[in-house]
Amino acid sequence: MMSSPWASPDPTDSARERSEQSSAQPGFVAPGTQPTQPGFTAPGAQPAQPGFTAPGAQPAQPGFVAPGAQPAQPGFVAPGAQPAQPGFTAPGTQPAQPGFTAPGTQPVSPLPAPQNGQPRPDAGPGASGYSQSTSWAWAAKPGIIALRPLTLSDLMSGSFAALRRNPKVLFGYTIVIMTIVALVNGLAVFMPFYSLMTLSGSTSDPQASYNDFLASSSLSLISTLLSYVVLFLATFLGGALINGVLSVTVSQMVIGKKITFGQAWSMVRRRLLPMIGASFLLFLIIAIPMILWGVGFLAMLIWSLESKIADSLAAVMFFIGLPLMLALYSLTVRFLYAPICAVLEHKGPIQSLKRSWTLTSGAFWMTLGRVLLIGVVCGVIVNIISTLISVIVLGIGFAFLSSASFDDPNTVWSFAVFLVITSALQTLVYSLVLPIMSAYQTLMYVDQKIRKENFALVLAQASQGRG
């Protein structure tokens, strides 16, 4: 059974634990009961007197000395025995006085006492590894990161350390899923192309009727819309599967445990629906306002052809668009950890959104800056690889098209296959950066729990098999 220390504690369990601890304390009185009075004796019983001695026995008095014996002096040692008393001083030497300082050494000043409940400025780390000062004097590192608040360099180095430590799961699983997504996307790109070819054939046929043209146009529109739906579903579900498995894998590497794909999948499969639900709710939160804005802006543009008032309304709708997009992007930052919370903390979709909002509370700008940084890094990597692939593919395409004729149906179908392969390659490029982004965001989540919830101790215990 793999360690799973991420779930937030149940408040009812905490209350029960506190009740059990309180009941074990001296003088604890359960609610609704009367406290026991000192010296209370049950009816019909005799109270036990202090110093009670059984009949026929003599009580041992403090300092009792048998007749004819000398009382033992403090520090007395029997002949032939060696004392093992603290502070023993050899014969002929003087005992060290309190505060004694050897000649030539500096006296050690006592540590200052805490002021107003604040820790000493030079105090060491607490039980969780936190230094009692503003800086961390010590932090355990059982896995890919030290269990302390993380810097940008810690996040980047930890992300690449995760890739090096478990490439089979992070890269291998991602490439498998993205290959499937690429094939589906290729088919989705091919569907509208096929419908357009059918439509062009019906328009060029002089014997085609109006109904044939209308049927071809409807088929083209439906296939185009369907292709977009397939693209969205494939990308959405593929991304959810990848993020779930990768977040679990990275979270285990934080506590020094390298897991296989089977172990990761066993921890994720029961959380897939809540994770997909959280991701879908986040999509709706972002998409619905944008769709309403787009419909309103398009309606104003159409109305502006007949009314001058609509021109002003269309301009207002246009300028509303930018702050709306900024506000929606800020929501994606606040809900960034929702899918991770659904998997690691075993929360439902709505609870995951609330949990992410709590974790990012007071840390919005730091979270935004970190997200923008990893976006720039991954964007540069994707652009470099995509450019190289595009140059190669375009070179092959131009060489093929220069000697081909579009009047030949085989040329057209070959061009369609060329587009499908290009789309699939572009999709596969993202499989190289998705593990980096997933590891980075998971470590951001760990950092927030350490900062806000003093989570270092829990992770340290889990790394030792106690979590």
Q: In this predicted model, what pLDDT tens digit does every residue of 287-310 receive, in sequence order? A: 999 999 988 888 888 887 777 777
User: Which pLDDT score is estimated for 128?
Assistant: 34
pTM of the model: 0.68
Which residues fall within 8 angstroms of residue 303, CB to CB, at 6 or more apart? 310, 313, 314
| Spatial contact of 142 and 256, defined as CB atoms under 8 Å apart | yes
Mean pLDDT for 329-338 is: 96
Q: Is the pLDDT of residue 86 over 60?
A: no
Q: Is the pLDDT of residue 317 over 60?
A: yes
> Per residue in 226-272, pLDDT tens?
878 888 888 899 989 999 999 999 999 999 999 999 999 999 998 99
88-96, long-range: CB < 8 A, 24+ apart: none
Provide the 8-state DSSP code for 355: H
Residue 304: how many CB atoms within 10 A of its CB? 16
Residue 201: how many CB atoms within 10 A of its CB? 13
How far apart, in whole angstroms, are the C-alpha atoms of residue 163 and residue 174?
A: 12
How far apart, in whole angstroms, are the C-alpha atoms of residue 102 and residue 111?
A: 20
| Spatial contact of 370 and 155, defined as CB atoms under 8 Å apart | yes
> Per residue in 183-234, pLDDT tens?
887 777 777 666 666 655 555 555 656 566 666 667 767 777 887 888 888 8
Considering only 50-59, 339-348, 364-373, which range has the smallest mean pLDDT?
50-59
Structure tokens at 221: 């529109």
φ/ψ bin of 63: left (φ > 0), alpha (ψ from -120 to 50), beta (otherwise): left
Q: Is the pLDDT of residue 12 over 50?
A: no
pLDDT band, residue 13 (cuts 50/70/90): very low
| Spatial contact of 447 and 155, defined as CB atoms under 8 Å apart | yes
Q: Measured between alpha carbons, how far apart are the two ends of the chain, in Å?
A: 11
285: closest CA among 319, 335, 351? Answer: 335
User: Which pLDDT score is estimated for 80?
Assistant: 52
Which residues fall within 8 angstroms of residue 21, CB to CB, at 6 or more apart? none
